[in-house]
Structure 1
Amino acid sequence: MNISSSGDKLEDWENFNVALKKMSQKYEFKELHLGQTLHSPWGRYNVISGLDVGRCCEVYEAEEIKTGDHVALKVFKRSQEYLGALQRELLCLRTLSVPNGPIVNFLGWLDDNQQDILVLELMNGNLRDVLLSHENHNPSPWLVTTLTRDICQAILHLHKHEIVHADMKPPNVMWSAESSCFKLTDFGVSFITSEDYIHSIYSKGYQSPEVQAWNESKGKSSRPTRPGKPSDVWSLGCIIAEVMLGHKLLPTSWRWSEKSQPCIQILKEAFQSLSSKYSKEFLQEATNFLCRCLRDKAGDRDTATNLLSDPWLAADLWRPQIRDLILLPTHILRFINVADERQLQSAVEKREIEDELLEECGKCGPVVKFAWLLESRNFYVEFCKAIDAETAYQALTRRMYNSRTLVLTFFPVNFWQKDELF
């Protein structure tokens, strides 16, 4: 086997996947300890590491002992204060979760030592991580439109069940390598449109005018009309504008009033700074779309159903950039320029390269399919599981093969399924 380790330094963009592995190293996780085993009727889970911490919970990575599948354990802190958040989360997950659906997949709920623990699909970093990795680079049109379409589909799924997310923001949008899409998470303040809820909703910077009025009226005898589905659409507009601008469209100090500048005007003025960073056509279509989300009056905003039909979101209109293919894992790997043209003209040498690369990939997990793009000498490998593709990416990147340093990326599933390789 002629694949060996290499100390050669690759281009800086090959290190961007580190952004999706961010760990809370300075935080002392308290609810579970590493190596602890949790038992449930459907499996046993070994705690591997702490991932994140929130106001009411801690999140851990764990491995199901029998299958080897990796999951997330969301452990609610032991306090009556957080019981409502747990109940809302459970209700929404049980109602909305479907395999490969637009929200995080719910695998089960267990009570261990009087701790409430949700077993969830293990995600691959949140939108905040993606934004941090683009600190000096504008997200590609593919990333912007893919994100927008995925969130729209998630909102539509919630709204069909008469559920409002009520806390949409970048940390609650996460990438699923297994499903190859962005998904919504964290339903601790979500509500059903028919309920008489009284809690404060949404985070500052993502609050629509009607949400601000509702939150500020808490405790008063007279309250304004309760927010609903249009408030999620407003948050969508704020999130996508933030992704494109690199900062929040509306600062946390922003307060709406009848005399305020319309948010649509704030958007248009802010987007003038993007004129040299996106094409005129793309920027105009993005502005038109976001204006449909950010109308000041809730009744004037468009629905998720109508937004999904916007031509700006036409599938596969854009191709991902190299940074996208490293930041966002899938279960498909692309090996770039792994052989010389002469080698691929020989059936024997071509088969030898295939066998060697597949042997190395097979060490990381079962392989389903492979393909060549001969004009660019790229080799593609589809794994059964995305986590196996991630393992192979980590193991083989920077390795020496065929007198060259291996350069790998992930590859988008929708292009793979259409045999549209690049």
Structure 2
Amino acid sequence: MACSSGSNAKMSGPNVSTPTVAVTPDAVDQKTNPVVFEIYGKIWNVQARLGQGVSASVYRVNSGRASSAVKEFQVDAQGGDYGYLKESSVLEKIQGHKNIVTLYGMFTNHNSFGVATHCLLLELLDVSVSELLVRDVKYIQTDGYRAPEAELQNSLAQAGLESDSSCTTAVDLWSLGIILLEMFSGIKLKETVKSQEWKDNSSAIVDHIFSSNAVVYPAIPVFHLRDLIKSMLHNDPKLRSTAETALINPFFSIPFAPHIEDLVLLPTPVLRLLNVIDDNHLYNEDEYEDIIEDMKEECQKYGTVVSLLIPKENPGKGQVFVEYANAGDSKEAQRLLTGRTFDGKFVVTTFYPLSAYKRGYLYQTVQ
């Protein structure tokens, strides 16, 4: 029973001389692990400990003529033998089944400390369940988000072959690139990434997706996102962007320009006034100061003004940003200022993200 997990699932016929898998013998600890078992008057030498669980340990043993497995149950803290009794009872009832390991017998082992432990003498199999899972059916990553090197390694594993190199964290960057591309395009790309067209020129497909959707997302700096995704989707993992390099991509550092509808619908403490000031007023210092004072006086009628900004250059040139003490004051000011005239111009108002205003990010109007 070459079962490093202590499993009783059977993988070969009930033959005590079944060839065993090549296992490097563990250095058997003379103090804690048995060196020999005396079973039915014969000495069986312990060659390796194949596995250890909470309730039992499994050893590969050899009598000089045959190899078997011994499952030794730990002494129950309460003095009970529930695990041993249950497992031995089940194995006795289903003996002879082609898919169940053969139970050769049960015995009690007395170690050098005088402690008695219950043991099962079992068939030694050529492969454990865990080894079987690793050898034939282990798959790396989810289908549709699997990096090329993971796909190759899975194919080799399925054929029972070893890969020259192992997968690294680069496979995760590939998966993230596919996820970002799906989020932008709004479609699942499982079949696309399996196609020959993708394998031949994935970069061209990414370009096509972005050119088709750029108008749909005008507030997103799409060229930065496109380049970020393409850097994550190199077939060669050595050329693929790392997490560190991805985080310093301009896509994560350049602020998104909010859509005009979002600014109108989401009340914030910051109110932006458009269509108020002519450019020629910005460059006359006296006129500029007068406008600021006039705007403060007018805006303070509707709530407590924390700050007021009128940029002289783009972005935000000629727009009035008024920060109120709270969104309630800002909302009231918007209601009363919208449609008013200032120097013969009809005032247009929108809310503005407080975090962007505080950080000095000022945007042009996104239509």
Q: TM-score, normalised by structure 2?
A: 0.38
Higher normalized contact order (CA 8 Å, seq sep 6+, divided by chain length)? 1
Based on CA coordinates, which of the two structures has the bigger radius of gyration? 2
